[in-house]
Structure 1
Amino acid sequence: MPMRYSVLMSEIDIATRATVTALKSLNLDCCLVGSVACFAYGMSRTPNDIDMVVLTSRYTQERLKSFLVHLDARFYLIASKDPSATYRVLWFRLPGYHRSCKVDLLLPGIMNIPSVDPNRVVRIQDSMNVLNSPGYASSLTLSTDYPLMPFLPLLLLKLQAWQDHGESPKLFMRQKQPTDVRDIQELLAEQKYATAGTDVRKLRLVKSRYHKETTVEVQTKQPSLLQVETPYLPESFVQAGKTRVRKFIGMYPWSEKQWKILGFSKSDITDATIAAGKSAQGDIRSLEDMMSSLVIDL
């Protein structure tokens, strides 16, 4: 039985590379989601497990777990803590006494995870995450070109986790929400992934009267990241994401600008602002009604 200790990023790196290598030997494409992918994109929090989406429909999750156990002796399976569960949990053995890292092998469709064309899997090679927060190393380097879920669907999945944690009846799940908010805030701050960029083109203009040539630069605004990614994502996934964005902005207005940069329309955000305003007005009215109903004896 694995014991829960803090896992170092270097150990997450080893386990991730082992997972990718094993799946590659089976000719299976994959991409990371969850905290390891978020870390690769710039999140400061050190992950404590691995979430890998295997881009296949040929095998079940249990079959894939068995494959990895047979391919690499560092992988092993244990029974779930849930006595009614029929699945087993995959772990990767780390150096040291009873130290392990959990590895979740996921399939497209599970937990609304969208499928990704292998040609669209993102790779960030030798990514360095420089951290200044107390309790973190000064810099952590990913030693491999991790296969990553594209930025926008990853962010929307993180937003889904934020909502699911907040709506859970279990206290320990709801306690994860502040961490989700911090992770989302850090991802939204990664401007290099937030836009499709601006195309700068040089045009040569000729003035016919004097036959002089002038070169000018013309900036052409590119489509937003949402516009670029939408054709590759299920419509239901995008619509659910927009609903969650409205809810998130209603609770955290500071994020409105970043969501706009990503391409979420003004109407999407306005709906959230109006809803938040109506909620506040309703609270004020309730307070006024309560105050007016009080009887004060002099």
Structure 2
Amino acid sequence: MQHPATTAEIYDISRRAVAIFARSGLTCCLTGGTACALYGTTRRPNDVDLIVLTHQHQQERLKQLLVCADSDFYTVAAKDPLATYRVLWCRLPGSSVHWRRCKVDILVPGVMNIPDIPRADALTISGLPVMPLVLLLCLKLQSWADHRAAVRYYLVQKQHDDVRDIGELLVIMESRGTRFNGAALRRLPPTLADATIQRLREFLSMYPSSRAKWQAVGALRARQ
């Protein structure tokens, strides 16, 4: 049985990737479970989701930058025979019996509704760049909605991880004094802001017990 990457290993892979892109003059920030963990959520991340803040390079070119710079990074063909992309992995230390690896998703603005992120808005936690907290929560809501609507069972099951992450992110936002109100949403592209408000309504209908957490960060006013 393959042992999954530890949180420390995921952070190490992230640092290596960020450093490689920095040498090419490219700025990055983490999103997904790794960003959530850096902010303080308790669920162990499964992989690395790294946004490269560029419009000059396509994702496949960015993957090759990593592969060429570090021999632990490699790509394999996607399972879908019609896919035009390759899947990026990073080798992990392990015994000859338990060969280990970690998936690395390289994203760019425009993919998965990720907007342009001003460099000044990214935070640095434990030496790693992370997506702004409000945007991270918006994309977590999007992930939850997508997983609920998925066809494959393993994707549908991921919605429960999303719910856990969202609940913990709300507590973290309140403790940091971060507001999820109309002013915060107006900084987002209108399509993402509108979709976020609709997803928030759906989330509250499914999890009404979360209302107090949303109210504590100003989110219910954001719906008005």
TM-score norm. by structure 2 comes to 0.92
Residue 4 of structure 1 deviates from its aligned partner by 4.7
Amino acid at match of 1:48: N
Asked if structure 1 preserves the Cα contact closer than 8 Å seen for 2:30 and 2:51, the reply is yes
Asked if structure 2 preserves the Cα contact closer than 8 Å seen for 1:152 and 1:226, the reply is no
| Helix, strand or coil at the partner of 2:219 | coil
Amino acid at match of 1:6: P
Task: Tell me: CA distance 1:73–1:61, structure 2 relative to 1, closer, same or farther (3 Å).
Answer: same
Q: 2:28 matched to which residue of 1?
A: 30
Amino acid at match of 1:59: H
Q: 2:119 matched to which residue of 1?
A: 118
Identify the structure with the greater helix proportion: 2
2-side partners of 1:37 and 1:243: how far apart?
24
Residue 266 of structure 1 deviates from its aligned partner by 4.2
Asked if structure 2 preserves the Cα contact closer than 8 Å seen for 1:52 and 1:105, the reply is yes
Aligned counterpart in structure 2 of residue 233 of structure 1, from 181, 184, 188: 188
Residue 192 of structure 1 deviates from its aligned partner by 2.3
Identify the structure with the greater strand proportion: 1
1-side partners of 2:78 and 2:21: how far apart?
23
Asked if structure 2 preserves the Cα contact closer than 8 Å seen for 1:76 and 1:90, the reply is yes
Residue 156 of structure 1 deviates from its aligned partner by 1.1
Residue 53 of structure 1 deviates from its aligned partner by 0.5
Identity %: 43
Residue 263 of structure 1 deviates from its aligned partner by 2.4
Residue 231 of structure 1 deviates from its aligned partner by 4.1
Residue 227 of structure 1 deviates from its aligned partner by 4.1
Q: 1:99 matched to which residue of 2?
A: 100
Amino acid at match of 2:199: R
Q: 2:199 matched to which residue of 1?
A: 244
Q: Which runs of 5+ in 2 are unaligned?
A: none
Aligned counterpart in structure 2 of residue 153 of structure 1, from 135, 158, 181: 135
Residue 230 of structure 1 deviates from its aligned partner by 2.9
Residue 268 of structure 1 deviates from its aligned partner by 2.9
Q: How does 1:213-292 map to 2 (within 5 A)?
A: 224-266=179-221, 268=223
2-side partners of 1:267 and 1:37: how far apart?
24
1:72-122 C-alpha deviation (Å, 9 max, x unpaired):
111111111111111111111111142111111001111111210011101
2-side partners of 1:267 and 1:152: how far apart?
12
Q: Bigger relative contact order, structure 1 or 2, given CA contacts below 8 A and separation 6+?
A: 2
Asked if structure 2 preserves the Cα contact closer than 8 Å seen for 1:38 and 1:187, the reply is yes
1-side partners of 2:123 and 2:217: how far apart?
18
Q: Extract structure 1 runs of 4+ deviating beyond 6 A.
A: none
> How many correspondences in the alignment?
220
Amino acid at match of 1:192: S
Aligned counterpart in structure 1 of residue 167 of structure 2, from 185, 188, 202: 185
